Chains A and B, each alone.
Chain A
Amino acid sequence: MTQIVESNQKDVKTTQMTMIQAINDGMRVLLDEDERTIILGEDIGKNGGVFRATEGLQEQFGAERVVDTPLSEAGIIGTSVGLAVNGFKPIAEIQFLGFIYPAYEQIMTHVSRLRMRSMSRFTVPMVIRAPYGAGIRAPEIHSDSTETLFTHMPGIKVVCPSNPYDAKGLLIAAMEDPDPVLVLETMKNYRSMREEVPVGKYTVEIGKGKIVREGTDVTLIAWGAMITVAEKAAQLAEKNGIQCEIIDLRTLYPIDRDIISESVKKTTRAVIIHEAHHTSGLGNDIVSIINDTAFLYLRAPIERVTGFDVPVPFFSLEEHYLPTSARVQEAIEKVVHF
């Protein structure tokens, strides 16, 4: 499957990968290039992770570097802080985002503010990976999309790739970042697509979104699993002669203000799509960015298509919780025909 494709600078060897394979490959690169890299998590060693993200890594790099920890999220994150301040580069896996909450204090109080409290004497260059989101018929509580809890925390960056290429590139960028980064991985996309991913090391810049579809009439802003929903809605809208531009935000903090602002100035309309709950969702920050930077360009109020202000329902009802292309399409029609 390996082939050579042209990139901007030089020939880059690539290979077809799913998102989970790309994440696995990214961690292999990081373990291989720097012996300070250490991976911690529940069932990540011998079992290779419940999603197989760490498959084969313990075999290759040993049980001291790919560590099956006791079942304790606060323990995993808290000890990662200690490892990080003392010379190691931890990648901590939380099995599902819905199980991260016992570690909330560690992240809120220590991971994110140790640099500030020690005036940079101690820093926490670590990565936390967590699968998130609904739509895979998982048992209850496995499907949360609570990214805003973390974008609200000063001192930690949050990225959310939607595809194999970005997943590997953002993971490596997260490890190179001098500060803690939470990598949210949409479970729905783990195996839903394959694409050419460069072999070896490359990064996707943190803080930069990407236009994944160009259009002139309305900007759709989304991330993670919602990119697929936005793409379907854009195809439906196209049949009605509406050209959607889609921004894959990729980083949720620090957010790419310029890409949002430039696109909305061009299209004059915006629909924000997120799986997270509506109230205090990141959509509100995006509305603020548009308000601050492109208000006078707008031809319609901004629409938000989001999860509701309810706990993510059990899987028999999860389709009613998640934004659908039909809901997005209605929002597109609404802003276009305002």
Chain B
Amino acid sequence: MDENYPIKRIIDDHGHFVDSTFENEIDEKLVKELYYHMLRVRTFDRKAINLQRQGRLGTYAPFEGQEAAQVGSALALQPDDWVFPTYRDHGATITFGKSMTRTFLYWNGRVEGCVAPPDRNIFPPAVPIATQLPHAAGAAWAEKLKGTQNASIAYFGDGATSEGDFHEGINFASVFKVPVVFFNQNNGYAISVPIEKQMNSKTVAQKAVAYGIPGVRIDGNDCFAVYFETKQAFNHARAGHGPTLIEAVTWRKGAHTTADDPSKYRPETQGKDIVDPMTRLELFMKNYGYWDEQWIEEVKEKTANEIDLAVEEMEKYPASNVEDVFDHVFAEMPPQLAEQKESYLAHLERR
């Protein structure tokens, strides 16, 4: 079965074309856009880890190594599409339009960090595993019923395929033929459990057969493969043909979270042979005449400044409001909750 799902690549580890299907669609604008966003989210990710180590951020889930998968897929979206991320997909959500400041706030224990900009339908990150897949199916179903061209993307990891919600979400989406892209980032490990202990099948993509939908296995570290295959899946969805399951094979370079120690469960050498997605894009740019030293320096500086500003905004953000504990549970606060709020605020007054 797995031989039916070879890994699709557009560029190889050395940044050379191995598939020319989309060669004509790759231009300077796209190359620079991919590079800019990958650099931007990587810089964000590294900054977040540093802030956590300095005690300026809470526990943080890094995504280094998955930038091509997250940025490539996010750039394939249309502004009115729906995004259902996990806690490790802020590379995708920041690319799609979530603010960095809010993303920092999220990891600093602030509920404000869940709030998407008004013009972007980005769900709060799914913290339990796979629960967002049925949501993505539902939002896409609504778009279908409303007769729009909008679609959903659900991000999830390899471990998520073991949960019931994975099956239920994809099954509903395929039965009702709704426009969803189920975007799996197979990064090799669900915290400490490697994929071969997670599932008996060799690929995630082959699971699509069971739902009668297309399954595509791509090199998740090849930003072009990710971008074009995700775009194809969206075209398929928007044309009314239903969902696609994409497996982007990638690698989590770091820990599950800053509270995790991967040396406990995977050899130091594992993954060292995987060419970093940024490095691959850089090689490609050099090979095909897109490397522009001056521009690179400019975006590096621009990105660093943007992130410093976001950190400053996060740290200067108004202090958490106690009333928020009570105010957003219902549209209209039930009397017993109002009483709890009043009594607690009075207690704080007395302190």
Contacts and interface: CB of A to CB of B under 8 A. Distances in A.
Interface in A100-119: 101-102
Nearest to B329: A310
B109 A70 contact: no
B325 A313 contact: yes
Contact of B337 (A138, A308, A326): A308
B111 A43 contact: no
Given A308-B326, A309-B329, A315 B128 contact: no
Interface of A: 42-43, 45-48, 50, 68, 70-75, 98-99, 101-102, 137-142, 278-279, 308-311, 313-318, 320-321, 326-327, 330
B208 to A, nearest CB: 19
A43 B325 CA distance: 32
8 contacts: A43-B193, A46-B264, A102-B165, A139-B87, A314-B110, A314-B113, A315-B109, A317-B324
A276 B160 CA distance: 29
Nearest to B126: A141
Given A48-B264, A137-B59, A313 B111 contact: yes
Contacts of A43: 191-193, 265
A99 B111 CA distance: 19
A71 B164 contact: no
Nearest to A75: B162
Contact of A308 (B107, B162, B199, B325): B325
A73 B257 CA distance: 21
Interface string B126-161: 011100000000000000000000000000000110
A49 to B, nearest CB: 9
A46 B163 CA distance: 21
Given A46-B264, A98-B127, 11 more contacts: A43-B193, A46-B192, A71-B160, A72-B162, A102-B164, A137-B58, A139-B58, A141-B128, A310-B337, A315-B58, A326-B351
B128 A101 contact: yes
Contact of A71 (B107, B193, B341): B193
Interface in B205-244: none
B264 A141 contact: no
Interface of B: 58-59, 87, 107-111, 113, 127-129, 159-160, 162-165, 190-193, 197-199, 257, 259-260, 264-265, 320, 322, 324-326, 329, 334, 336-337, 340-341, 344, 347, 350-351
Given A308-B326, A315-B58, A74 B164 contact: yes
Given A138-B59, A139-B87, A141-B128, A47 B192 contact: yes
A326 B163 CA distance: 42
Contacts of B351: 326
A75 B161 CA distance: 12
Given A137-B59, A308-B326, A71 B198 contact: yes
Give the one of B107, B110, B160, B334 with max A CB within 10 A: B110
B190 A316 contact: no
A294 B198 CA distance: 54
Given A308-B326, A308-B344, A326-B351, A68 B128 contact: no
B191 A316 contact: no
Contact of B162 (A47, A71, A137): A71
Given A310-B326, A310-B329, A320-B322, A139 B127 contact: yes
A101 B198 CA distance: 20
A70 B191 contact: no
B320 A316 contact: yes
A70 B265 contact: no
A67 B344 CA distance: 45
Nearest to B129: A71
B151 to A, nearest CB: 27
Contact of B191 (A47, A137, A315): A47
A153 to B, nearest CB: 20
Given A140-B127, A326-B351, A321 B320 contact: no
Contacts of B344: 308, 320
B164 A46 contact: no
A50 to B, nearest CB: 7
Contacts of B260: 50
Nearest to B162: A70
Contacts of A311: 329
A43 B265 CA distance: 9
B337 A68 contact: no
Nearest to B109: A315
B109 A71 contact: no
B261 to A, nearest CB: 8
Contacts of B337: 308-310
Contact of A314 (B111, B264, B347): B111
B109 A316 contact: yes
Contacts of A98: 127-128
Given A316-B108, A327-B347, A68 B163 contact: no
What are the 5 closest A-B residue pairs judged by CB atoms, nearest first? A315-B109, A47-B192, A71-B159, A70-B162, A316-B109
Contacts of A278: 336, 340
B58 A317 contact: no
Give the one of B59, B87, B192, B324 with max A CB within 10 A: B192
Contacts of A139: 58-59, 87, 107, 109, 127, 257
Contacts of B110: 314, 316
Contact of A42 (B111, B191, B334): B191
Nearest to B341: A308
A82 to B, nearest CB: 17
Contacts of A46: 192, 264-265
A23 B322 CA distance: 36
A318 B198 CA distance: 34
B320 A309 contact: no
A316 B56 CA distance: 12
Give the one of A46, A98, A101, A316 with max B CB within 10 A: A316
A205 B104 CA distance: 47
